[in-house]
A = this chain, B = another copy of it.
Amino acid sequence: MDEAARDRGRRTLAGGTWWIAPTPFTPDGSVDGDALEHAVRTAVGWGVDGVTVLGVMGEVTSLSDAERDVVLAAVARGAGDVPFAAGCSAASASLVAERAARAQEHGAVAAMVAAPPLVRDADTVVGFFHAVGGRSPLPVLLQDEPVATGVQLAVSTLVEALERSGAVAVKLEDAPTPPKITKLLAKVPDLTVYGGLGGVSAFAELSRGAAGTMTGFAYPEVLRAVRLALAGGDRATAASVFDAFLPLIAFEGQPGYGLAIRKEVLRRRGALTSGALRGPVPSAGIDAVTAAELDEVLQRVGLEPSPDRLDVDAHLAARVAA
């Protein structure tokens, strides 16, 4: 990748509220490309600045290469002018590069890449990202994701991996993310950091210098409102917005379990038609107890799921009035 491409990547991945799309499945368990196109188009209507597919929350390790192509084609159709990134993680830098090339053909602006699963040590991680940087035709978005990979990256390792790969941004999922952001930016002040983890620490992440969030939370409007209020210097409003929706953010942000909840919220918002998951074992979605919990959580935060873009200010004003 030449320096001009990297510069374009840096400009595109300079922050904002990116949305991670789940992978929708049909009742028979196939990847549903049309449903994904619809979901992405819907989320674009909610004002997201970018879309990411084929991440952990897209159940990417359960997809065949042909299904990856279905996903890439669908997001390209649905995203329109909004940029999209694609997860290209693999155990080998060679396969990452191949996946990045495929994503580029479909129009992706960046390849999101995490450490290979269970890789032994920090030196191997750095060597891997160096090789990825040299081979990927797309700018690299380095994903720091210890749960799915089993690999915990020290700040120094992450900084070295960023430098050696020429990555244009980093997406953090290593809880607690806020202090890690402070440490990272102390070492690399102009680094673009995206918060993740379903937005559970979005207020603190953005306060500490994250340029945006990149997560699949089913109401990206909320994360956007928090970000814009903070950017405008209005911490009080940012905090009010975040706190008002925190019961839903935390409920949807539960590890392991949260994806099923998220798909159900998206289904209720009309962005998906099914909450089915592929999982280790396929499931139709959340059970009745969880569904009742979700009903209650939505009531607690005053939300009636709708495909319309949520007007966060109006929503909060109405709640205060109520």
Interface residues of A (CB under 8 A from B): 29, 59, 61-66, 90-95, 98, 116-124, 127-128, 130-131, 147-148, 150, 152-157, 175-176, 178-179, 182, 200-201, 204, 207-208, 235, 239, 242-243, 246-247, 250-251, 254-258, 278-282, 289-290, 293, 296, 300
Residues of B within 8 A of A256 (CB): 120, 175-176
List the B residue with the shortest CB-CB distance to A124. B280
Q: How far is the CB of A32 from chain B (nearest CB, A)?
A: 14
List the B residue with the shortest CB-CB distance to A280. B128
**Which of the residues B119, B153, B204 comes within 8 Å of A121, measured between beta carbons?**
B153
B293 touching A204 by the CB < 8 A rule?
Answer: yes
A293 touching B91 by the CB < 8 A rule?
Answer: no
List the B residue with the shortest CB-CB distance to A122. B154
List the B residue with the shortest CB-CB distance to A155. B123
Q: How many copies does the complex hold?
A: 4
B255 touching A176 by the CB < 8 A rule?
Answer: yes
Q: How far is the CB of A145 from chain B (nearest CB, A)?
A: 11
**Which of the residues B150, B175, B246 comes within 8 Å of A150, measured between beta carbons?**
B150
A65 touching B62 by the CB < 8 A rule?
Answer: no
- A202 CA to B254 CA in the complex, in Å? 13
- A150 CA to B148 CA in the complex, in Å? 11
- A109 CA to B68 CA in the complex, in Å? 28
**Which of the residues B130, B207, B250, B255 comes within 8 Å of A293, measured between beta carbons?**
B207
**Which of the residues B29, B148, B257, B296 comes within 8 Å of A235, measured between beta carbons?**
B296
- A122 CA to B157 CA in the complex, in Å? 8
**Which of the residues B63, B155, B246 comes within 8 Å of A95, measured between beta carbons?**
B63
Residues of B within 8 A of A207 (CB): 293
**Which of the residues B200, B239, B280 comes within 8 Å of A116, measured between beta carbons?**
B280
- A61 CA to B119 CA in the complex, in Å? 12
Residues of B within 8 A of A121 (CB): 152-155, 157
A175 touching B122 by the CB < 8 A rule?
Answer: no
**Which of the residues B131, B152, B281 comes within 8 Å of A128, measured between beta carbons?**
B281
B124 touching A154 by the CB < 8 A rule?
Answer: yes
- A88 CA to B124 CA in the complex, in Å? 26
- A308 CA to B124 CA in the complex, in Å? 38
- A17 CA to B120 CA in the complex, in Å? 29
The answer to whether A91 and B246 touch (CB under 8 A), given A257-B176, A296-B239, A300-B239, is no
The answer to whether A156 and B65 touch (CB under 8 A), given A92-B278, A176-B257, is no
Q: How far is the CB of A300 from chain B (nearest CB, A)?
A: 5
List the B residue with the shortest CB-CB distance to A254. B176
Residues of B within 8 A of A91 (CB): 59, 61-62, 280
Q: How far is the CB of A255 from chain B (nearest CB, A)?
A: 5
**Which of the residues B117, B235, B290, B296 comes within 8 Å of A117, measured between beta carbons?**
B117
**Which of the residues B66, B120, B153, B282 comes within 8 Å of A94, measured between beta carbons?**
B282
11 other contacts beyond A61-B116, A201-B254, with CB at 8 A cut-off?
A62-B90, A93-B280, A93-B281, A120-B256, A123-B155, A123-B157, A128-B280, A178-B293, A204-B293, A235-B296, A243-B246
